[in-house]
Structure 1
Amino acid sequence: MQAEPRTVFWIARDITERKRREQEYEQIFNGVPNPLTVNDPETGELLEVNDAMCEILGYEKETILGKGNDWQQ
């Protein structure tokens, strides 16, 4: 019994520009001297903190991210 040929579909997308914008955003976000956070509006979960916020609080990003606004309590 001979195997039947199969069809393979390939979809490719150039994400070069998207990656460039993400890197640019990260440089701006972390380059600002003021502490910044990005929170989930529904849960208050900290989704992103910049380097200035970590420096002021004295914590690593990994310690802060995913926590709510009351993460120190």
Structure 2
Amino acid sequence: MHPDYLAHDAIGLAALVRERKVSPLELLDAAIGRAEAVNGAINAIVLQDYDAARARAAATTALDAPFAGVPYLVKDLG
């Protein structure tokens, strides 16, 4: 896991990406690692499409959007 991942909120992670101190793919790998470490206990992630997420992270080039390159989960309530 990237050492800065747990030390920052989304705004801080976005700043690291914009400053090119970390890549979107590195953040995604950190997020996946953290998710795999805790999901067994909380069962929050039922669909894991890490390959598609990695492809999107690798293709992220416009880093000027507010949260560009910051991984996140989407909760389906339906």
Q: Which has the higher strand share?
A: 1
TM over 0.5, shorter chain: no
Q: Which has the higher helix share?
A: 2
Larger RCO, structure (CA 8 Å, separation 6 or more) = 2
